[in-house]
Structure 1
Amino acid sequence: MVWRLLQDDGVAAAAGLAADEALARRAGENGSPPTLRLYTYRPHAVLVGRFQDVEREVHVEAAEELGVELNRRPTGGGAILMGPDQLGVALTLHGRAGSPPPPGMVPPERARERMERFSDGLRRALASLGIEAAFRGKNDLEVDGRKIAGLGIHRDGSGGLLFHASLLIDLDVALMARVLRTPFVEITDAELDAVARRTTTVRELAGEGLSLADVRAHVARGFAASFDVALELGTLDSDERKEVAALTREKYETRDWVFQRTNVRDSTGTASIETSGGRIDVSVALAGRMIKAVNVRGDFFESEGALADLEGRLRWTPSEKAAVAKTVHRWARAHSTGTVEADPLARAVVSAAQRARGQGAPYGCFVTPGAREDRW
């Protein structure tokens, strides 16, 4: 089977996202072939996830002062900074119920497995560069607990599927910190270092001399091998260009789309606990009942890699005690060299989440205020 390969550089935020959605819609209608699009944005753009609020995720004034474009993806996930050093990946396929799935694709009702399946093309590409990455949590590709790519998925009403990824070839952490809001604290040099330790890039791991063209070629080969297809370089046809232009104008360039609001409220909470291994300080940010971000500090002994892995595992985990405890204990079994014990750590995370949920009405708190806490 032959799929189309599109390559674009320096695209505007609205037009880039409109092209992805239009191709997914047309794929569902069998109006466009399966297409792998590998592209970059002009510097720079912040793209929030489908269900996020721009004002909660972005320093809008700072972004406008810096000339950073703002837009909203049709796919879910978190806010990202895109530019010449981040490779956008968009795979558009038919996914209509009753139709045979594309090559190597899992049944449509299993969304998480489908997301992991999609990430295989990127994993193969990174492996060919000597980088061993793994699918983690809800929508990340990580290397030793450090994020190297974010993933998203969207099903169009036509039945078309859009898989999104942003691959970090390089990253301007300082710029990212200026335009994206952090859930917990104002950004300091120490926090910038912490952010840098929780992300990694292709160039950091495979060499600074690696070019965008090199990475793009590896990604194309990775997807071709993963789905057992041939990729043929092509362009948009006239009908596709017209549909992209219309969608850009009527949707992605409108404030109604970019600045729409969600009813899911964010909230934060903190907790501290003294243990035999040292003091644990935890900050938790919730989106509804899900853990959006975690920050763990203290005077215990633990490697930065292990902490990054812990925080990555907890992202998008339900904030209920059982789910947190299960995740923390799995982490503890994988990292046995530090002084942090699993039960106190889980208790601190749950306590911080309780406080966040108490702040974030209407979600309330899952314990009665003043009641005795269940024993672990």
Structure 2
Amino acid sequence: MKRVLSRVRNLDVYPKVNEDFYSRTLSGGLITLASSIAIFFLLVSELGLYLQTVTETKLVVDTSRGEKLKINFDITFPAVSCVLLSLDAIDISGEQHLDIKHAVIKERIDNKGNLIQVTTHHHIGNPKMGKPMQKHGGEIQHNETYCGSCYGAELSSDECCNSCDEVREAYRRRGWGVMNPDLFDQCKREGFVQRIKDEEGEGCTMYGSLEVNKMAGNFHFVKSFHLENLHAPHDVKYYKEDGYNISHRINKLSFGDAYPGIINPLDGVHWFQETPNGMYQYFIKVVPTVYTPLRGPVIRSNQFSVTEHYKGPEISQRTPPGVFFYYDHSAIKVNFTETHPSFLHFLTNICAIVGGIFTVAGIVDSFIYHGHKALKKKMEIGKLR
């Protein structure tokens, strides 16, 4: 056993010097103090780097298919009343969503931007005044199911239009313009024209979200009816002869859920119109983004870049007034992954810091000690004179 311990003792690469042979100097003490301070600050810095989360970025080809795109928006129109403002979405497959009301909220505001009233989804078929007229003529009878006329715009004989919105939607499908809504029993009962007059001079903030197919398309805020894939601004001519002011402020616009560090370039953008009518266009390139945090679920979202263009009414007589957002998808997907250094990497850096500083400090101390000793010896023998 003693032989084994003796062999282990011979492997010691750190031979000890008797304390009687130690020589402590002022320079050595100063160097030790300075190196200790340096070690402390470097250890604190290394600990901060170890605890800090690092986000790695990787670009890959987007191979996802059949997904939906969620669009979140909050836009203020200071010169368009809520009763006339509509939201539509169309994609390149031809799928259309006209006058979207689901998950959309409108806030009536005055000319100073103060809130007047919050308007949610209209209740279809709920008359506000008068008795409804049946499709076949005459008032609705007891226990009779109400079926309002579409005034020639119905696509089949059994189609009913039970509200002003449904009549306008039927006319929209036909590409017809409504020149006098008071001619429709539904609009007259609901006081549609009176609501327009009551909200004259007001603005509107529309916010909410919509889901569209993951393909190129557009969504737009307009005050007009639809004619196939174009718009015929009959409402504009009827309700306001002096033009349509499309001034707007984008409070928020995003594609998908928020994730740490996301930047939406259109948030806070505003544009004030100087001439009536016209079309303001935003061309958006949507970049699919996946954010993988250290803890918690994976966030699938999108970034986007944008360019802007204004098309005046003089360019084309068929240019509908409104604010249009044209979006397309990038073929490249961005993956963000949160990571932080491993504990072994942290331990290695700690050893490197402590060992490196002590080694350098020892070299400096040795240089100063032996230099001072050699200088003192030369002074003693008088070689410095």
State which structure, 1 or 2, has the greater radius of gyration over its C-alpha atoms. 2
Structure with the largest fraction of strand? 2
Relative CO higher for 1 or 2, CA cutoff 8 Å, sep ≥ 6? 2
Structure with the largest fraction of helix? 1
The TM-score with structure 2 as length reference comes to 0.23
The TM-score with structure 1 as length reference comes to 0.24
